[in-house]
Structure 1
Amino acid sequence: AWTKLHEMLTSTLLVDITIDGEHKQLPLPVVRNMANEKDPQLRKTAYEAELAAYKKIDEAAAASLNGIKGEVITVAKLRGYESPLDKTLQDSRMDRETLEAMLQAMRESLPSFHQYFRTKAKLLGHKSAQLPFYDLFAPVGEADMRFSYEESRDFIVKHFGSFSEKLANYAARAYDNQWIDAEIREGKRGGAFCYNLHIVGESRIMSNYTGSYSDVSTMAHELGHGYHGECLVNEAFLNSEYPMPIAETASILCETIIANAALEQATSEEAFAILENDISGASQVIVDIYSRYLFETAVFERRTEGALSVSTLNELMLQAQKDSYGDG
């Protein structure tokens, strides 16, 4: 129920924003996607409008998070786990030593990502050595690669076929049978995800497609999740579940197929944009995910003492981001 409430709040949140002197109320995903726009002022305006909009729902969002984490703490304790992390590790079929090795590798890589952020700040013309948060996803270079929805289908199906005919056929079926909800509209949550319906041997994909190369890469990623489900169609229902460490394998493979294909036919400017997009994506997987790990660890520690206020949650998140993003 708390999760449903949070999804409802974020999917129906309208953001007040002024663009070219005109005041508008736009769905949150529309404003979030402006982070990929070429216009630097639009990126900054959208970022500030997004943060301001969250104040409309912050108390309810905090209540949702407190409810969810409180339940996890209670259930984990009743079932004999030492901590929620131990339960997560068991659910993921992963031992703590493996997790610690991965986290250590992430920590060791942070200086390289900090250097990347500073370099991107310089390329974008910032006087400060640090990259502003609103320019994390800013396109770099002169290339402006755009794909219509139909072009994304043809590009993905063609190049999936260079790896596997079965993979290409799955992607074509997903597009042609309208298993993909790609349009941005009011009342729809942001981001993208895939849900495999094992009982009928199909999948459904949600995205917020605007035509950028990043959106094509995201679509390939989600189709990879769907293909994972396709490979499990003939398995028993109890064998259709898989843990997170396995879940991202097919999706990242599909992203890589598309990136390699795009590079083969790209101009030097386009290749620069594609490679920078890849590094940007890696920074999210490493730097941002590490900040979320730090945040969630802190939330679980503090939540055992009682519910956390909006200001406390904000402070914990900001500290986690400072620890992860460093001087980048």
Structure 2
Amino acid sequence: MPRSVPTLPTPDRRPRAPEGGGAPPASPAGASGETLPGWDLTDLYAGDDDPRLAGDLDAAMTAAHGFRDRHLGHVATLDGAALGRAIAEFEGISEVLFRVMSYAQLRHAADQTDPDIGRFYQGIQERVTDISAHLLFFTLEINQLDENALADRMAAPETAHYGPWLRDLRVFRDHELPEAMERLLHEKDVAGRAAWVRLFDETLAHLRFDIDGQSRTVTEALDQLSDTDRARRRAAGKAIGAGLGAQTRLFAHITNTLAKDKQIEDHWRNHDHPMASRNLANHVEDAVVDALVGAVRESYAETAHRYYALKARWFGLDRLAYWDRNAPLPDAEDRRFTWSEARDAVLGAYGAFSPRLAQVGQRFFDNAWIDVPPRPGKTSGAFAHPTVPSAHPYLLLNFMGRTRDVMTLAHELGHGVHQVLAAPRGALMADTPLTLAETASVFGEMLTFRAMLDAETDPKRRRTMLAGKVEDMLNTVVRQIAFHEFERRVHLERREGALSEERLNAIWMEVQRESLGPAFAFDDEYKVYWTYIPHFIHTPFYVYAYAFGDCLVNSLYAVYQAGTVDGFQDKYLEMLAAGGTLRHRELLAPFGLDASDPAFWRQGLGVLKGFIDELEQMA
């Protein structure tokens, strides 16, 4: 069981829900006037007052009490078959709690400004935390078994089935605390870290930005930074800076508090640097992460600096303003896709690669598994939430019809398909670490981009599409490693004391100038743009996983294009179906790839450099 209540994934990019809690209200019309679909949560529970929800919580509490009474202090006495049966029982209780928590999290994500939903979400968090606290002893006692004792029990098929889960559990063996301390940390989480995260989410959801006399949500304001009209982009950038600037004191306090909270826990758990716990959870060695970060930072001049200098020339500017970073090219059409066009483009690309991949993806559209339109109060960005193996994933988007939104659909559908294929592994072994979780999503983006580019014959539109892909890759690789550097420096400096708003702003500007390069001019208000990044708050040091996934997929896709691996599609689907049972070395071995080799990261970055080379030739 996790040491804290299960949470939604951090968003990838980025009228009220009904009292019953099933589907959101009729969705607003898209660009073409079509009705955009919302999700229906009744596959989890029929509503907040569903008797099944209350019954599951009561049954889970009874089961957790019984489990603790039978096994507390006795795990070491269980033989192999008995231990396997105990793990299966633990998994069953966990799945019920994951189902309940998933429903509450999805309800809250659909409208973070509704106080009734907020109270419901908080109540479920507290109830699930109370129940799961009774189970904490179990994994701690398993980790107290010595290697020989555990190996002896692994001879029984009942326990051997859970071998990958036990392997991953043992990673934290040297960083666990006595059961009473673990339980205290676990129970206090809802009034500690989780409460600060909720404060951040709801503050951001309530913010409105005055743009030319119109009140905009954060999703709408950020979308306007991609407008074709430079004056409108500037207005959005200035308004976002003003709105965030008015809340910087609060966001700085949240950041300092959570960084100190992490520092304290890292100290007690004997983690020797701020990224250590995330690297362990990702099952990736420190040296591999350091190689990735180093390779990306060394590439700044040949990737981001070079591309944005080219973009400035296209705009006829000596330097770009920060609000030009995601601007369409000057001669680009303001193409807007309908939802149907986006769906067909993504499924078509998936199907051309593997009919089975498209068949699984089709289920998300045949059923109400995706919440598509932006709404006031809805969380910004996008995510795929796996819920539980006995149900199915749900996707959240904020679809505005841009090409980037089509890529976001391809990305999140990749996550969803991955989660469906891995579900047979069960609640304890279906999830993958963040680094590998990004594989299917980024691969889905690449499939969709390549299909759309190959179908385009107009040179101008091809250049526009290629530039858009380069910018997405820069956002996924360079920008996320810059985020990683910001986090790393903030957490290291926080060990010496709280950081002022001015110091947080200064660190942000230093990493932005380093990563984006001399082609940019940054107005003063840009210094507070760190405040809206949810990754820093939800999941510290999540962000390097995006760069890891993008470079990994670039190398993987190069193997696919080269045709050097027989049965690539089948091997790829087997990799996804493995869920969390295999590590990155084992998953990549069938493709002849090794992430511990620095050349692996250079190969991935080489794809990005090649796209920029092609754009320079077009210019």
TM-score (norm 2): 0.51
**Equivalents in 1 of 2:240, 2:368: separation in Å?**
31
Q: 1:179 aligns with which of 369, 372, 376?
A: 369
Distance 1:215 1:279, change over 3 A: same
Where 1:25 maps in the other structure, the secondary structure is strand
**Equivalents in 1 of 2:207, 2:390: separation in Å?**
33
Where 1:84 maps in the other structure, the secondary structure is coil
Q: Does 1:9 align with 2:186?
A: no
Give yes or no for contact 2:252–2:500 (8 Å, CA) kept in 1.
yes
Where 1:205 maps in the other structure, the secondary structure is strand
Q: Which moved more, 1:281-290 or 1:213-222?
A: 281-290
**Equivalents in 2 of 1:305, 1:203: separation in Å?**
42
Q: 1:324 aligns with which of 505, 509, 515?
A: 515
**Fraction of identical pairs, as percent:** 28
**Equivalents in 1 of 2:502, 2:211: separation in Å?**
24
Q: Residue in 2 aligned with 1:214?
A: 404
Q: Which moved more, 1:242-251 or 1:149-158?
A: 149-158
1:177 Cα deviation from its structure 2 partner: 1.6
Structure 2 letter corresponding to 1:70 = K
1:319 Cα deviation from its structure 2 partner: 1.3
Structure 2 letter corresponding to 1:183 = P
Q: 1:293 aligns with which of 484, 506, 521?
A: 484
Q: 1:201 aligns with which of 378, 383, 391?
A: 391
Give yes or no for contact 1:153–1:172 (8 Å, CA) kept in 2.
no
1:165 Cα deviation from its structure 2 partner: 2.1
Structure 1 letter corresponding to 2:312 = A
Q: Residue in 1 aligned with 2:29?
A: none
Which blocks of at least 5 consecutive residues in structure 2 are unaligned?
1-194, 520-619
Give yes or no for contact 1:198–1:229 (8 Å, CA) kept in 2.
no
TM-score (norm 1): 0.94
Structure 2 letter corresponding to 1:291 = A
Structure 2 letter corresponding to 1:4 = R
1:34 Cα deviation from its structure 2 partner: 1.0
CA RMSD of aligned residues (A): 1.4
**Equivalents in 2 of 1:216, 1:82: separation in Å?**
41
Matches within 5 A, 1:72-221: 72-112=262-302, 113-126=304-317, 128=318, 130-140=319-329, 141-221=331-411
**Equivalents in 2 of 1:204, 1:311: separation in Å?**
39
**Equivalents in 2 of 1:187, 1:200: separation in Å?**
29
Q: Does 1:279 align with 2:470?
A: yes
Structure 2 letter corresponding to 1:8 = E
Give yes or no for contact 2:357–2:417 (8 Å, CA) kept in 1.
yes
Q: 1:303 aligns with which of 475, 485, 494?
A: 494
Q: 1:241 aligns with which of 405, 425, 431?
A: 431
Give yes or no for contact 2:411–2:445 (8 Å, CA) kept in 1.
yes
Give yes or no for contact 2:205–2:218 (8 Å, CA) kept in 1.
yes
Q: Residue in 2 aligned with 1:45?
A: 235
**Equivalents in 2 of 1:147, 1:172: separation in Å?**
19
1:212 Cα deviation from its structure 2 partner: 0.8
Q: Does 1:263 align with 2:453?
A: yes
**Equivalents in 2 of 1:279, 1:302: separation in Å?**
33
**Equivalents in 1 of 2:442, 2:226: separation in Å?**
21
Which blocks of at least 5 consecutive residues in structure 1 are unaligned?
none
**Equivalents in 2 of 1:42, 1:147: separation in Å?**
21
1:168 Cα deviation from its structure 2 partner: 1.3
**Equivalents in 2 of 1:213, 1:326: separation in Å?**
26
Q: Residue in 2 aligned with 1:314?
A: 505
Structure 2 letter corresponding to 1:136 = R
Give yes or no for contact 2:300–2:478 (8 Å, CA) kept in 1.
yes
Figure out how many residues of one structure are paired with residues of the other and give that number: 322
Give yes or no for contact 2:274–2:488 (8 Å, CA) kept in 1.
no
Structure 2 letter corresponding to 1:5 = L
Give yes or no for contact 1:69–1:300 (8 Å, CA) kept in 2.
yes
Distance 1:134 1:246, change over 3 A: same
1:84 Cα deviation from its structure 2 partner: 1.9
Give yes or no for contact 1:196–1:226 (8 Å, CA) kept in 2.
yes
- The structure whose residues are more often strand, as a share, is 1
1:164 Cα deviation from its structure 2 partner: 1.9
Structure 2 letter corresponding to 1:133 = Y
**Equivalents in 1 of 2:517, 2:476: separation in Å?**
16
Q: Which moved more, 1:55-64 or 1:23-32?
A: 55-64
Structure 2 letter corresponding to 1:139 = P
**Equivalents in 1 of 2:246, 2:423: separation in Å?**
43
Give yes or no for contact 2:389–2:426 (8 Å, CA) kept in 1.
no
**Equivalents in 2 of 1:153, 1:222: separation in Å?**
12
1:265 Cα deviation from its structure 2 partner: 1.8
Deviations 1:108-155 (A, max 9, x none): 2111220110110110122x2x32210111111333332111221122
**Equivalents in 1 of 2:332, 2:282: separation in Å?**
42
Deviations 1:154-203 (A, max 9, x none): 22222211112222122222123221112111112221111111243311
Give yes or no for contact 1:12–1:189 (8 Å, CA) kept in 2.
no
**Equivalents in 1 of 2:368, 2:393: separation in Å?**
10
Q: Which moved more, 1:117-126 or 1:158-167?
A: 158-167
Structure 2 letter corresponding to 1:277 = G
1:76 Cα deviation from its structure 2 partner: 1.0
Structure 2 letter corresponding to 1:156 = V
Give yes or no for contact 1:156–1:171 (8 Å, CA) kept in 2.
no
1:90 Cα deviation from its structure 2 partner: 1.2
